[in-house]
Amino acid sequence: MNDYVRTMRKYIGNEIMFLPGAGVFIHKGGKLLLQKRKDNGCWSCHGGCMEIGETAEEAARRELYEETGLTARALAMFGVFSGSELIYTYPNGNRVANVSVMYACDDFYGEPAGDKDETTELKWFGFDKIPENISPPVIPALKKFLELYDNKNNARNHNNFPAEGRGNARIPLRSGAVAFLKNGGNYLLMKRADNRAILPGIWSGAGGGMEPPEINDPLAACLREIREETGLTECDIVSLGLRYVITRKKNNEIWQSYIFFGETNKTDVARTDEGEFFWVPENELLNREFSDTFALMLKHYVSRSAGDGAVYAGIAEHGNGAVYINWKRLEDPGVMG
What's the pLDDT score for residue 306?
63
| Per-residue confidence (pLDDT) for residue 168, from 0 to 100 | 43
> Torsion angle, CA of 298/304/308/313, rounded to 10 degrees?
-60
In a domain, 142, yes or no: yes
| Count of structural domains within the chain | 2
Examine the pLDDT at 57 and tell me if it is beyond 70: yes
Q: pLDDT at position 337, please?
A: 57
Mean model confidence pLDDT for the chain: 87
Same domain, 47 and 85: yes
The pLDDT of 57-67, averaged and rounded, is 93
pLDDT band at 159 (very low <50, low <70, confident <90, very high): very low
Residue 336 placed within a domain: no
Residue numbers of the domain that contains 140: 3-149
DSSP-derived secondary structure letter, 158? B
Domain-located, residue 165: no
Please determine, for residue 152, whether its predicted confidence score (pLDDT) is greater than 60: no
Residues of the chain with pLDDT > 70, as a percent, come to 90
100 shares a domain with 182: no
pLDDT at 269 exceeding the cut of 80 = yes
Same domain, 130 and 205: no
Task: Please report the DSSP string for 285-328 in residue order.
Answer: GGGS-B-HHHHHHHHHIIIIITTT---EEEEEEEETTEEEE--E
pLDDT at 83 over 60: yes
Residues 39-43, mean pLDDT to the nearest whole number: 90
Are 220 and 304 in a shared domain? yes
- Asked whether residue 131 carries a pLDDT value surpassing 80, the answer given is yes
The answer to whether residues 137 and 217 belong to one domain is no
Whether 243 shows a pLDDT value over 50: the answer reads: yes
The confidence score (pLDDT) of residue 336 equals 63
| Phi, psi (deg, nearest 5) at residue 15 | -60, 155
**Is residue 170 over pLDDT 70?**
no
Amino acid at 106: D
Where in the sequence numbering do the catalytic residues fall?
121
Quick one: pLDDT band at residue 166, thresholds 50, 70, 90? Answer: very low
Does residue 179 sit in the same domain as residue 324? yes
* pLDDT at position 114: 72
318: CATH? 3.90.79.10
- 281-327 residue pLDDT tens: 999 999 999 999 999 999 999 987 566 788 999 999 988 888 999 99
187-203 pLDDT per residue, tens: 999 999 888 767 889 99
Q: Is the pLDDT of residue 25 over 80?
A: yes
